[in-house]
């Protein structure tokens, strides 16, 4: 069963990959367009300062937990309230569950844009899905399409367009999307631009029934950027890999780890007296 919960005012669905794919299959048979957001801790933090972005996430059809931090927050917020020094102990042991790779209990698994993308590509032929790749740097979407088609030669990736989220280029992008007949749109402008673009323009994409922001996924599959090894992903340490590869991201990664933990701890305990 799919239930929504709130993490710092942001709705997250308790759903796994199979559940998301089932939803998309249902939507492509209907007449309504739906937005999917893969929500990570950085996005939840942004929502605390950006009411418009928060509104987009509150109005989307489906929000998945993209990141171990979101899975942890759902579990931690579900724990009984503690007082005094016990609050710190509870926080410590909840974080230790990540390091010890203990299963999370509230949300079944991470659902990331990067891992959802190949699942959509793989199933596109038998499900009669038509995928459109939008965004990333010049030529990256096309390279990602070509490399994915080598692995899934029967896939239906109908077209791609890099462009930008500007109003001028959006008109061209929408024309391409409509001409292609795509019913699933994957947008790689990075957050929050991709979510804002989908919310603004999805209604103009006449055949699209599911639109998903996929961040840097095209870069991964075009092999422009190397993703963290699987063992780091399994330990929830993909952020460490990105920090080592891109030290300039330090402020963002600090916020998405330490800043996020501080926010969730404060929200859980702000009404509890010492």
Q: Is 8 among the domain residues?
A: no
216 and 162 together in one domain: yes
CA distance 256 to 262: 10
CA distance 135 to 250: 25
84 and 189 together in one domain: no
Cis peptide before 192 (omega within 30 of 0): yes
104 and 119 together in one domain: no
50 and 94 together in one domain: no
State residue 273's pLDDT score: 40
157 and 190 together in one domain: yes
96 and 178 together in one domain: no
| Number of domains forming the structure of the chain | 2
188-207: pLDDT as tens digits: 999 999 999 999 999 999 99
CA distance 44 to 12: 10
Tell me the residue range of the domain where 137 lies: 13-66+112-221
pTM: 0.88
Q: Is 227 among the domain residues?
A: no
First to last CA, the chain: 37
> What is the mean predicted confidence (pLDDT) over 225-250?
61
> What is the mean predicted confidence (pLDDT) over 220-224?
81
Q: Which stretch of 67-71, 240-244, 253-257 has the lowest confidence by average pLDDT?
A: 240-244
35 and 102 together in one domain: no
Among candidates 260, 209, 241, 259, which has minimal Cα distance to 71? 260
85 and 120 together in one domain: no
Distant-in-sequence, close-in-space partners of 221: CB < 8 Å, separation ≥ 6: 117, 118, 144, 147, 148
Among candidates 15, 25, 33, 24, which has minimal Cα distance to 200? 33
165-178: pLDDT as tens digits: 998 899 999 999 99
170 and 51 together in one domain: yes
CA distance 239 to 253: 7
Q: Is the dihedral of CA 144, 150, 156, 158 positive or negative?
A: positive
132 and 52 together in one domain: yes
- Of the CA atoms within 13 Å of residue 194, those in its CB half-sphere come to 26
């Amino acid at each position: 069963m799919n239930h929504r919960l709130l993490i710092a005012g942001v709705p997250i669905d308790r759903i796994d990959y199979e559940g998301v794919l089932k939803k998309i299959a249902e939507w492509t048979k209907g007449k309504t367009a739906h937005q999917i957001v893969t929500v990570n801790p950085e996005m939840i933090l942004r929502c605390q300062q950006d009411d418009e972005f928060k509104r987009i996430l509150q109005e989307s059809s489906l929000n998945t937990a993209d990141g171990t931090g979101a899975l942890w927050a759902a579990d931690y917020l579900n724990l009984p309230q503690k007082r005094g020094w016990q609050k710190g102990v509870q926080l410590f042991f909840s974080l230790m569950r990540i390091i010890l790779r203990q299963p999370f209990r509230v949300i079944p698994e991470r659902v990331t844009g990067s891992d959802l993308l190949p699942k959509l590509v793989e199933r596109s032929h038998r499900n009669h899905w038509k995928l459109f790749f939008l965004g990333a740097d010049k030529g990256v979407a096309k390279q990602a399409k070509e490399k994915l088609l080598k692995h899934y030669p029967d896939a239906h990736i109908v077209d791609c367009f890099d462009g930008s989220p500007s109003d001028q280029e959006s008109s061209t992008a929408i024309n391409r999307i409509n001409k292609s007949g795509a019913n699933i749109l994957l947008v790689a402008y990075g957050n929050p631009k991709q979510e804002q673009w989908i919310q603004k323009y999805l209604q103009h994409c006449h055949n699209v029934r599911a639109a998903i922001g996929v961040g840097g996924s095209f870069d991964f599959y075009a092999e422009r950027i190397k993703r963290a090894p699987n063992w780091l992903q399994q330990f929830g340490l993909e952020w460490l890999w990105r920090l080592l590869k891109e030290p300039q991201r330090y402020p963002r990664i600090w916020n998405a780890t330490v800043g996020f933990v501080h926010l969730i701890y404060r929200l859980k305990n702000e009404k509890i007296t010492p």
